[in-house]
Amino acid sequence: MFETLAKLTAKPALFASFDTGALWTDPHVSEMMLTCHLDETSALASRPAGQIDAMVHWLDRHLGLAGKSLTDLGCGPGLYAARFHKAGARVTGIDQSERSIAYAKAQGLPNTDFRVGDYNMGAVPPADIVTLIYGDVCAMPRDRRASLFQRIHSALPAGGVFVLDAFAASCFDAFTEAVVVAADLDGGFWAPPPYFGLKATFLYPDATTVLDRYLIVEKERSRWVHNWMQYMTPGQLSSELMAAGFEVGGALDVLTGDTWRDDQDMFCLLATKI
Ligand SMILES: C[S@@+](CC[C@H](N)C(=O)[O-])C[C@H]1O[C@@H](n2cnc3c(N)ncnc32)[C@H](O)[C@@H]1O
């Protein structure tokens, strides 16, 4: 017990124990995540439906989706992919959650290809447009981002566009370090009740990064989950994209495609392969 609590509360190095699988592929958690994705009032895993409609609408206006090929990385159950398809794009969706991909496939959309896969590994399927939506870029360390940006660059033709959104650096100020212990932490999200959830939140101000480290203790098993989130400025992210060979426009409002205001929590970038 002493060692466990010592481990829970010892601040790890930035992005140590990085593993998105524990969060997205555990059978119970992935079922809860899918429920959140499909709950139009929840913004936990995806934007509410009206906001997805709005984002796809302005992306279509900017990029002209009809007839284009599009690879949606971290597509989840295909909420954006279905709309990209409706706008006339040929969509490939990649996600590491088998459950989300099964849901996307079950929609039976023609000209779409949904695959279980890890976008941190291997080649990105070639396409005119690549998307990475709802802050996924903030959940990985800088070296993973650099590798992913290079592989996306290779997947695009000259003039092809990479669309991504991110949580703004100003959001970081809302977090504080804390330790929480609760029966059935987060209302049964982490495991079938009964279980205990221990959560330690660590702040990394120099990197505007937050770690939520969880220990989920069930009768028969216990497991660690690390949820990292780096809050970024448009300038920071743009310079990483430029280093990978992209030309990057100004930050945009995710819902309208208008110029982003620095009091908004998320921004979108369109990065063009040159
Ligand atoms: C925040 S959700 C966003 C889903 C979708 N883009 C949306 O906005 O509706 C992140 C998604 O990325 C997936 N994901 C996270 N890391 C991944 C990885 N390394 N490879 C493939 N999928 C990943 C998760 O399974 C999850 O479906």
**Residue boundaries of the structural domains of the chain:** 2-19+171-230, 46-168+233-273
Among 111, 117, 119, 114, which Cα is nearest to 152's? 119
Report CA(51)–ligand 1 centroid distance (Å): 17
Contact (CB, 8 A) for 241 and 162: yes
Give me the count of residues in the chain.
274
pLDDT at 13: 96
CATH number belonging to domain 46-168+233-273: 3.40.50.150
Which residue has the least CA distance to atom 13 on ligand 1? Answer: 74
Any ligand 1 atom below 6 A from CB of 77: no
Query: Tell me, what's the pLDDT at 248?
Result: 98
Ligand 1 mean position, distance from CA 187 (Å): 22
Q: Does the C-beta of 79 come closer than 6 Å to ligand 1? A: yes
pLDDT recorded at residue 44: 85
Please give the pLDDT value at position 18: 85
CA 95 to ligand 1 centroid distance, Å: 6
HEC string of the chain? CHHHHHHHHCCCCCCCCCCCHHHHCCHHHHHHHHHHHHCCCCCCCCCCHHHHHHHHHHHHHHHCCCCCEEEEECCCCCHHHHHHHHCCCEEEEEECCHHHHHHHHHCCCCCEEEEECCCCCCCCCCCCEEEECCCHHHHCCHHHHHHHHHHHHHHCCCCCEEEEEEEEHHHHHHCCCEEEEEECHHHHCCCCCCCEEEEEEEEEHHHCEEEEEEEEECCCCEEEEEEEEECECHHHHHHHHHHCCEEECCCECCCCCCECCCCCCEEEEEEEEC
Give per-residue burial for 128-139: e unless 16+ CB within 10 Å, then b.
Answer: bbbbbbbbbbbb
Please give the Cα distance from 64 to 188 (Å, whole number).
42
Q: What pLDDT score was predicted for residue 139? A: 96
pLDDT of residue 70: 98
Q: What is the pLDDT of residue 216?
A: 96
119 lines ligand 1 (CB under 6 A): yes
Q: Is the CB of 133 under 6 A from ligand 1?
A: yes
- Cα angle vertex 19, ends 28, 179, to 5°? 75
Positions of the chain with pLDDT under 50: none
How far is it, in rounded angstroms, from Cα 260 to Cα 265? 10
